[in-house]
Structure 1
């Protein structure tokens, strides 16, 4: 038996020796007949999984067949995007986006004149909102569908904002909140984009679902990307060239979210007059923000950013640098590929990331993008991490894949006894979290019958766990999503089949009634599906 097969045998054995191996278990502090325990048990009681691929040895013809079938998923989205309805909607929205950025330059020439270095309409990347930068073309105002006009006119209030970052670069974004909430205080989530190509429209899928679930949301383009300034007036860069914007910028975002007329945004005061552009001095929805319930979700370099920012204020990290709160207000994070860890070599170039992916067959972004000055990673708040199987450039694995390869961050959070969950979805790419035309990803728009992208493979699962995690740690009693957050997080019957057979998905957190759920390999705790007719 080789090492890989032996490790898998041990994983299976652990399913039957719960306390010894750290698989699924519950503490004795919880009532044995609690409602959540009964519901979770009922949901998963009859779950059996096809574990043939999990147990296939390397190398073998069986594993090769599993792998070839698995990697095929990474091109599903590209095939779907050939549908006439999708192509037509994409082209329509591309034309609107290009016209919008041209109109902005005509109305406010300071966007393209010195000292606005690098703003050309083609740069920063995605400034035009064309090609992949359209994102999901059905999620724009003016689209006759549930994610278009229905959302913007009936479900949400969305206000565009422009505010300065700490270097006086203009940051463009939007603040979102549910309609008809009265004076009720809302939990909030800030979404931090990935680097290079990732403009905010690629994350509107998350913003819309969070708003529907009762959250205030802040989205924007980091400095150096999308419609924000390419650089500061003094030439300081952003984007992948300067990874500091993904944690410094997120701290600025938190200050802006927390700003109000009586407590204005500090960088508006320090940068006032840099440009004639109308900028905001405070969050227009400040009256409804619950400052005690702020979360952050980030993708790629943004996932690294939320990992670093949650670390500020920990005893073994760096002090909280925000200007409108004495302590770090972030209460929970979601890292879309991937949750970082302290054991990280420093590297910050896209070339090195792709080279690493080519060499190893994976894209450990959370372990390769530590710029100088980033705070040491320290598990401080509950963290949900996602890790893709195939990175930027999908290709079949031609190596043995250790099942715990994606669990570096998970292990650090688990050792610190801070709630953590890490999911790897079968057939997923790094771009499943930023769906856009022509980007390799699993299915995310198989059906447009309702003038919206419905269905898919990875995105529904990403959405499900993201909402459930924030509901678990940011919702109050009586709010939608509070009562069943635990059950949704433990709904293996619905989602375990989509988890990777290469890499373990794992969790360690307690439900609201005090039960500890700890599994280092969720799939392998279930019995193999019977092949008997």
Structure 2
């Protein structure tokens, strides 16, 4: 038997041990091993389903879903058959990737290049090393933050890099940036714009990572989609993520150790994104004595931005971050804490497996989440959810169909536009393209050095773009005229969860209410 590559083990171990921030984590059932030996029912078999591949390797594809799935009682043989096929989808991505030599070779080669790039950065700026002045211990190493090298699972889609993807030559201007957060940790990121904006001011979007194992490149798929649709974009690694600092000069930490960086740091990122030569980013000035690192004084792409149109997108703990940040300035929420704008400039939100429910502590296993600022519905928000969450386990009974609609109900009650859906057979990693992690298909084929097709990611992109276009595009811009039609499209209905209800309630551009309490069943336009 062929042994499992070490980086596969690393990927799966990290997935189960070190991600966080989803506002709706799945409960993990435990069973008595002795009792399981005596139980020969179809449900008992589900508890032994392997995480990746194995006996369910070919269950998910080829055979259409039973249209009655979601209506069978549990336990029953019919429920078990539906669940087995549905749960098998989490093995699609790793199986496709591991069995495609083109994908594996590219991933391994890119890992060496990205690691070399990381080491060259450290050598050119020794202040980024573990033991270097002005700090005796920086905690910046190839493993801290966990994905600092952008290698192997931390690479994201390996075909979305400038050395192989013509997007960077033909479609976009992408510029590297470094800036300080409010506590003088150095943050790493990029700003993106279409190569030909023709002097027009563009709507803008900031994308925030999930936590721990989710560095910036994992979300370049969305940055590319936005640029192609005429947006100016910013991606970045929050403190404790990817190539940003693990800690501040005063030893303040990042990532899950200090989840506040996902809302405080997002405000800082928005401030940088909106900085200009006449109004430079303020924290660079207050932190300039912290390190000899050259930082970016202001957004080099400031001139293309329409400052009246800003969306924010976040995954996992980044979803919590965008939930908090959109709240600032609302009645019952904290005032806007940014330094570049007098009021909250955020106009629309998309949260991937992380839109927060007002009043919920959002805590779970994340330290200090009980100290999260208030979440108050203020702007149109879309939540996209996974079925099997962070540590995928099969359902031994049907979940509560309303369980994932908490944020939607809160926005709806507040009279603020909302849209929330759950992707069938999905995990927490649908939105962070982490090679070899459990997720539905996202690279079934490699054609002309591009991943083509997939299940969850294309659906996520389609509706994320439609939602942002609905609230941020203007007449005459691509995506404006058909945004409502895309949001009401049933073309992805077969990918909606048959367990968890998906719903929408918002006004179309015509002013007509677009309301549906169960998208899977279908609602009249």
TM class by shorter-chain length? 0.7 to 0.9
Structure 2 Cα separation of the partners of residues 339 and 120 of structure 1: 32
After TM superposition, give the deviation of residue 519 of structure 1 in Å.
1.3
Q: Which residue does the alignment assign to 2:498?
A: 501
After superposition, the Cα gap between the structure-2 partners of 1:397 and 1:348, relative to the gap in structure 1 and judged at 3 Å, is closer
Matched, 1:416 2:414: yes
The aligned counterpart of 1:388 is: 386
Q: Report what 2:144 is aligned to.
A: 123
Of 170, 175, 180, 2:196 maps to 180
The alignment partner of 1:76 has SS state of helix
8 Å CA contact 2:70, 2:398 repeated in 1:
no
Q: What SS class does the counterpart of residue 482 from structure 1 fall into?
A: coil
Within the alignment, does 1:103 sit opposite 2:103 as a pair? no
Report how far residue 155 of structure 1 moved.
0.2
User: 4+ residue runs of structure 1 moved beyond 3 angstroms?
Assistant: none
Instruction: With a CA cutoff of 8 Å and minimum separation of 6, indicate the structure with the bigger relative contact order.
Output: 1
Bigger helix share: 1
**Number of the residue aligned with 1:84:** 101
114-123 or 77-86: bigger deviation: 114-123
1:310 to 313, 326, 329: 326
**Structure-2 residue corresponding to 1:213:** 229
Q: Kindly provide the CA deviation profile for residues 466-515 of structure 1, in whole angstroms up to 9, marking residues without a partner as x.
A: 000000000011000000000000001x1111100010011001111112
CA contact (8 A) 1:94 1:130 kept: yes
Instruction: Tell me if structure 1 keeps the 8 A contact 2:347–2:379.
Output: yes
For residues 228-239 of structure 1, the aligned pairs below 5 Å read 228-239=244-255
Number of residues paired by the alignment? Answer: 456
Distance 1:307 1:449 in 2: 37
2:426 corresponds in structure 1 to: 428
Q: CA deviation at 1:128?
A: 1.2
User: Which deviates the most, 392-401 or 158-167?
Assistant: 392-401
Helix, strand or coil at the partner of 2:189:
strand
Instruction: Give 1:436 deviation, angstroms.
Output: 1.4
Partners of 1:140 and 1:302 in 2: CA distance: 23
Write out aligned runs for 1:336-355 (5 A): 336-345=352-361, 347=363, 349=365
CA shift in 2, pair 1:510/1:254, >3 Å: same
Show the counterpart of 2:10: none
Cα distance in 1 for partners of 2:72, 2:497 equals 13
1:251 matched to 2:267: yes
Looking at structure 2, the residues matched to 284 and 315 of structure 1 have their Cα atoms a distance apart, in angstroms, of 35
Q: SS in structure 2 opposite 1:509?
A: strand
Give the TM-score taking structure 1 as reference length: 0.84
Cα separation, 1, equivalents of 2:406 and 2:201: 36
Q: Partner of 1:295 in structure 2? A: 311
Helix, strand or coil at the partner of 1:55: coil
Deviation at 1:272, TM superposition (A): 1.2
1:22 is matched with: none
Q: Which residue of 1 aligns with 2:16?
A: none
Displacement of 1:346 after TM fit? 5.2
2:410, 2:390 → 1: CA distance? 26
What SS does structure 2 have at the residue aligned with 1:407?
helix
Q: Once the two structures are superposed, what CA deviation does each residue of 1:5-30 show, in whole Å capped at 9, x if it has no partner?
A: xxxxxxxxxxxxxxxxxxxxxxxxxx
RMSD: 1.6
